[in-house]
Amino acid sequence: MFKLLNKILNINSVSLHSSIKIYGIVKLPHQSRHLSTSGTMFKSAVFSLQDASKDQVQEFLNSFDTVLTDCDGVLWIDNNAIPGAADAMNHFRKLGKKIFYVTNNSTKIRSEFAAKATQLGFIANQDEILSTAFLVAHYLKGIGFTKKVYLLGSNGIGEELKAVGIRHIGVGPDPVKPDFKNMQPSELDPEVGAVVVGFDEHVSYPKFMKAASYLASEECLFIATNTDERFPKGGSIVVPGTGTLVRAVETCSERKALVLGKPHSYVRKYLESCGLNPARTLMIGDRCNTDIELGVRCGFQTLLVLSGVTSNKDLEKLRNEKTPPLPDVVLPKLGDLLPLLLS
């Protein structure tokens, strides 16, 4: 990809300090000259694929064998497919590329994700879904965890835990009582050996009290699905993401969670166990600080789409401030890719 972008952009790269730290001084076809750096990875400037020729787009498509894609904000928003996204993903598959749907959403089990994707026009099967609910179960099973999980999260995680034989408690409402501060130790389950925090629409003060109380024992594991700040939503209403709950539990427990979702290293570890070739892997996402960060950390090529959280304005700000992680290429939406092959 770096070679491809060099070719496309006529990059004049200057190595700084080491062979892997690069500044690219770039002349973009329709944009102003700027610099970018990523610190430890090869990194070029952000290039709009819309400025590429048909042959260059074809070359881009030939440059990867595996496609990892985020879901919310890239493929769909809520229950509405983003126009053209399914055609693009299904085209990747038709070209023989391996597909993984990599999502920080912890509210569904993999079969539900696959069913949703299929309903919205994407070809998908359960084994291609890499959700944080699945990662939690995979991680705990992998370390031989046999105790019970206190789950400040949804049934999606609960079902994935159940599928690997791990018991859990805590899902559902735990309303505040008038004397909530008088919670008794007897209300805690002595079999709990891990607190898992994911998205929980029933979050409450008693849940925070229980999570922090379990975590008072150093032996109790503290795991979080992801730290996304917000859900991708239009309009004036902000929908707080799982990071809101993780930070709250970290604060009251005075501990740091092991985060398994993007951009943290467990995703990379899992993907490496699938035998991916990072240099021939494309990560598609709508958030620089999760999707693109994951791609940069893993040495994948990265495509940012502006149909979700990161806006064009956000991207410009990151570019102007030269703030990594920056994507290799950008498109307004994934559905804009295929028409470029016909132009």
| Residues labelled as active-site residues | 70, 72
Distance of alpha carbon 214 from alpha carbon 286, whole angstroms = 35
Residue type for position 284: I
Interaction of residue 328 with Mg ion, rule CB under 5 A: no
Stretch of 47-55, 65-73, 217-225, 244-252 contacting Mg ion, by CB under 5 A: 65-73
Stretch of 45-53, 68-76, 263-271, 316-324 contacting Mg ion, by CB under 5 A: 68-76
Stretch of 2-10, 77-85, 266-274, 284-292 contacting Mg ion, by CB under 5 A: 284-292
Q: Which is nearer to Mg ion, 193 or 335 (CB)?
A: 335
| 325 burial type by CB count under 10 A (0-12 exposed, 13-18 middle, 19+ buried) | buried
Interaction of residue 286 with Mg ion, rule CB under 5 A: yes
Q: Report cis status (omega within 30 of 0) of the bond before 339.
A: no
Closest CA to 204 of 237, 241, 248, 238: 248
Q: Applying CB under 5 A, which of residues 36, 70, 293, 297 lies at the interface with Mg ion?
A: 70
Report, in Å, the least distance between residue 23 CB and Mg ion: 29
Interaction of residue 73 with Mg ion, rule CB under 5 A: yes
Give all strands of the β-sheet with 258-259 in edge-to-edge order: 168-169, 148-152, 192-197, 221-224, 258-259
Q: Which is nearer to Mg ion, 309 or 340 (CB)?
A: 309
Q: Which is nearer to Mg ion, 60 or 76 (CB)?
A: 76
Which residues, at least 6 apart from 261, have a Cβ–Cβ distance to it below 8 Å?
104, 106, 132, 135, 224, 225, 226, 227, 228, 267, 290
Q: Which is nearer to Mg ion, 75 or 337 (CB)?
A: 75
User: Going residue by residue from 297 to 316, which x/- string records binding to Mg ion, judged by CB under 5 A?
Assistant: -----------x--------
Phi-psi sector, 67: left (phi>0), alpha (psi -120 to 50), beta: beta
Report, in Å, the least distance between residue 56 CB and Mg ion: 26
Total residues at interface with Mg ion (CB under 5 A): 5
CA distances from 191 to 159, 166, 174, 214 (A): 19, 12, 19, 10
CB 233, CB 239: distance < 8 Å: yes
Distance of alpha carbon 253 from alpha carbon 321, whole angstroms = 35
Angle formed by the axes of helices 205-214 and 242-253, nearest 10°: 50
User: Going residue by residue from 240 to 279, which x/- string records binding to Mg ion, judged by CB under 5 A?
Assistant: ----------------------------------------
Report, in Å, the least distance between residue 286 CB and Mg ion: 4
Interaction of residue 228 with Mg ion, rule CB under 5 A: no
CA dihedral 220, 224, 229, 233 (to 10 degrees): -140
Q: Which residue is nearest to Mg ion (CB)?
A: 73
Q: Which is nearer to Mg ion, 137 or 305 (CB)?
A: 305
Residue 255 token pair: 């501990």
Q: Applying CB under 5 A, which of residues 38, 72, 243, 302 lies at the interface with Mg ion?
A: 72
Q: Which is nearer to Mg ion, 168 or 297 (CB)?
A: 297
Stretch of 10-18, 157-165, 176-184, 281-289 contacting Mg ion, by CB under 5 A: 281-289
CB 35, CB 25: distance < 8 Å: yes
Report, in Å, the least distance between residue 74 CB and Mg ion: 6
| 151 burial type by CB count under 10 A (0-12 exposed, 13-18 middle, 19+ buried) | buried
Interaction of residue 128 with Mg ion, rule CB under 5 A: no
Residues of the shown chain interacting with Mg ion in the complex, contacts defined by CB under 5 A: 70, 72-73, 286, 308
